[in-house]
Structure 1
Amino acid sequence: MAAKGLLKLGNALLLTNSAYIEHSANVFRPLLCYQQTRGKRRMKPRAKNEPCPWLVKKRAPAHFNFVTEENRAFLDEAARDHYKNLPSPLRDEPWQRNEWTINTRRTGVLGVKIGVIPQWKKDGTRFLCQLIQIVDNHVIRYSSPEEFQKSVGFLPGYSKDIGAVVVGALSDSPWNYSKAYHNLFTEAGVPPKRKLTRFFVTPDAAIQPGTPLSAMHFKVGDYVDCSAKTINHGFQGVMKRFGFAGGPSTHGNTKFHRRPGSLSTGKQRGMFKGTKMPGIMGGDWRITKGIKIWRINTKYNILYTSTGVPGPNHCYVRIYDTANFNRKEEMVKNCRRVSMPTFYPDDVEEELPEDIFHEDLFQMNDNTITFKDDDES
């Protein structure tokens, strides 16, 4: 009897649970991001190995590794001929070019950090410059504000009066990527790129797909914003993560040298929100605003900028016009105009110099000391 009673009770619990699940499925529960929660501790979500369902598969299967060298050379030659004869949108009628205003948002470029080099001003001040190389940038796609609102990457907080431009950097062999990834570049008529990113642009700065972007997209003296992923240090303690001094190393302090110390008071229940604790250090997107361009090398497409660009060396950096309104007003006062929507070599009649310097920057071929004859004095 007792067993039958437990069996009935289990069936009743099973029915109630199934009814609760059916009822909860019909209730609308909005999904909240960990950054949108209020009043709760913000915790980073665990990294998922599975990509989003709307992402295009990038890597191709490894069938090309079993091709002989002769066939590989033939396929490479056929690929070059294919991309030479590929219809490019630049052969059509060029798009209308508008004038730059203080509210204009142009596209940006993708660069690679390659190191730091010292520079000198004319007054003798020595400072460091960050070198960023713009490697083989092309515009892949432009989406108008109407098209951008219907795309998957559009969020409710975005402005409805702004479009998007996809920029790719560093062309690569077409055999390394899948057919679905190749279809992203058919509109631009360029080979597949290793890296893709998106920039918000206003309709007056719309740019045609297939347009190349170089370091001359900016001018010497402009201010830009740089964003990249910081150096990933993994899980670290409070001494390295926040610069804590650690515990004393005197007699009687065992295993307390790198501890954070007291975490809360006796009257408090639990810890304060935002207490500095051990955790993941680095690996997050950071933006440095108002970085000045001191020098441009047109031969190798290198920007000499102020230091402070996030990320390690050889990482990809997003570079675009600064969003600082004071810097934009400074450009307007100095009658500085940017190239709209980007720099075109046909607009310049003379050949560009190899290096373009800022007016306050000292050039190594300038004279530093002048001598006068005694008769002149």
Structure 2
Amino acid sequence: MSAASRGLISRFRFLSLDSTRAFQSFSRAGFSSSTEAALSEEDHDHGGGWIIEAKPKIMTPSSRRTGAIGIKCGMTALWDKWGKRVPISLLWLDDNIVSQVKTMEKEGITSLQIGAGQKKEKHLTKPEIGHFRAQGVPLKRKLREFPVTEDALLPVGTPISVRHFVAGQYVDVTGITRGKGFQGGMKRWGFSGMPASHGASLSHRSIGSTGQRDAPGKVFKGKKMPGRMGGKQRTVKNVWIYKIDPARNLMWVRGQVPGAEGNFVFIKDAVYNKPDHSILPFPTFFTPPDEDPSMLEPMVADLGDVDPFMAE
């Protein structure tokens, strides 16, 4: 069989699989073949999928919005009305835009890829440059994919500002923790160490025995021992947003977030302490044409009768 024949056969096989996927996606959505034929041409774009519009919608309890990419700028502190010092982390959303849209018809999932920051072409690989050119978006420094529901899809190029979130809501922040290198058991696991006197020569910070005798004759997996500490992905849940600054795309959150200053963190709506969906902009905040974000004042959360810095 010639190479051309093999190419034609693989092409026909791909087309048949593609039509099968499309039929399965319509079946999952509750459409029959007759319903599919009754759909008007204006309900689809030229690629065969649903038209994704950048307009406000009504958020339902089952809706899932996209997240955003932030940069940890540092930490500061505030004092509550009782004089208690409360740590505050400062996050910066650096030019977030939608860089790719994945739909059920094409990729089998519904998600949005968000790009943040800027990067020169000479610092990117050729596949990365081709990806950005194919999507028609500027070169971005960091990419992150967020799963969303179908009603929360946004077209490519839609900006995601800090007003995507609301002051007073809870978010989950994911990042890479500070790397501390190879550390001993006392620092890594909080062991108390060996006695500091009476014959404990040169073993004050030792972890002690790690195994048994002939039975089982080995060290069990997962034993707390010296090793590499930090540098892992961790998520801090239910982080409370104290203030947002639309003019500078800054966000103040209570407590600490993973990572060192200058590291990227990924912010999304809290999973457990869910915010009120009636106050969230859905699928994101769209800046009015007559509004200048640089002239807006910072928006502080409503503290209410109970000081949120004291409430656990």
Q: Which TM-score band applies after superposition, normalised by the shorter structure?
A: 0.7 to 0.9
Rounded to whole Å, the distance in 2 between the matches of 1:102 and 1:124 is 38
Amino acid at match of 1:276: K
Rounded to whole Å, the distance in 2 between the matches of 1:249 and 1:126 is 36
Q: What is the Cα deviation at residue 260 of structure 1? A: 0.5
| 1:232 pairs with one of 171, 179, 197 | 179
RMSD (Å) for aligned C-alpha atoms: 2.6
Rounded to whole Å, the distance in 1 between the matches of 2:210 and 2:288 is 64
Structure 1 residues 261 and 141 mapped into 2: Cα distance closer, same or farther (>3 Å)?
Answer: same
Q: Which of the pair has more CA radius of gyration?
A: 1
Q: What is the Cα deviation at residue 256 of structure 1? A: 1.1
Amino acid at match of 1:302: L
SS in structure 2 opposite 1:345? coil
Amino acid at match of 2:296: P
1:152-201 per-position Cα deviation (integer Å, ceiling 9, x unaligned): xxxxxxxxxx5121111111223433443222123543321111111111
Q: Does 1:323 align with 2:263?
A: no
| 2:233 pairs with one of 281, 285, 297 | 285
Unaligned segments of structure 1, at least 5 residues: 1-91, 150-161, 362-377
Q: What is the Cα deviation at residue 132 of structure 1? A: 0.4
Contact 1:139 1:188 in 2 (8 A): no
SS in structure 2 opposite 1:274? coil
Rounded to whole Å, the distance in 2 between the matches of 1:197 and 1:93 is 20
Contact 2:111 2:145 in 1 (8 A): yes
Amino acid at match of 1:206: L
The answer for the alignment partner of 1:136 in structure 2 is 95
1:301-335 per-position Cα deviation (integer Å, ceiling 9, x unaligned): 111011131111110000011111xx22x625xxx
Structure 1 residues 125 and 251 mapped into 2: Cα distance closer, same or farther (>3 Å)?
Answer: closer
| 2:127 pairs with one of 180, 188, 195 | 180
Q: Does 1:109 align with 2:52?
A: no
The answer for the alignment partner of 2:296 in structure 1 is 353
Amino acid at match of 2:57: N
Unaligned segments of structure 2, at least 5 residues: 1-50, 305-312
- Equivalent runs, 1:188-267 vs 2, <5 Å: 188-266=135-213
Rounded to whole Å, the distance in 2 between the matches of 1:192 and 1:262 is 54
1:38-89 per-position Cα deviation (integer Å, ceiling 9, x unaligned): xxxxxxxxxxxxxxxxxxxxxxxxxxxxxxxxxxxxxxxxxxxxxxxxxxxx
Q: TM-score, normalised by structure 2?
A: 0.73
Rounded to whole Å, the distance in 1 between the matches of 2:84 and 2:197 is 46
Amino acid at match of 1:191: P
Amino acid at match of 2:187: K
- Percent identity between matched residues is 35
Rounded to whole Å, the distance in 1 between the matches of 2:262 and 2:102 is 30
Amino acid at match of 1:140: S
SS in structure 1 opposite 2:117? strand
The answer for the alignment partner of 2:242 in structure 1 is 294
Contact 2:56 2:284 in 1 (8 A): no
Q: What is the Cα deviation at residue 106 of structure 1? A: 1.1
SS in structure 1 opposite 2:114? strand
Rounded to whole Å, the distance in 1 between the matches of 2:208 and 2:127 is 54
Paired residues, what number? Answer: 253
Contact 1:141 1:187 in 2 (8 A): no
Structure 1 residues 345 and 121 mapped into 2: Cα distance closer, same or farther (>3 Å)?
Answer: farther
Q: What is the Cα deviation at residue 124 of structure 1? A: 5.3
Amino acid at match of 1:243: G
Q: TM-score, normalised by structure 1?
A: 0.61
Q: Does 1:304 align with 2:247?
A: no
Structure 1 residues 124 and 357 mapped into 2: Cα distance closer, same or farther (>3 Å)?
Answer: farther
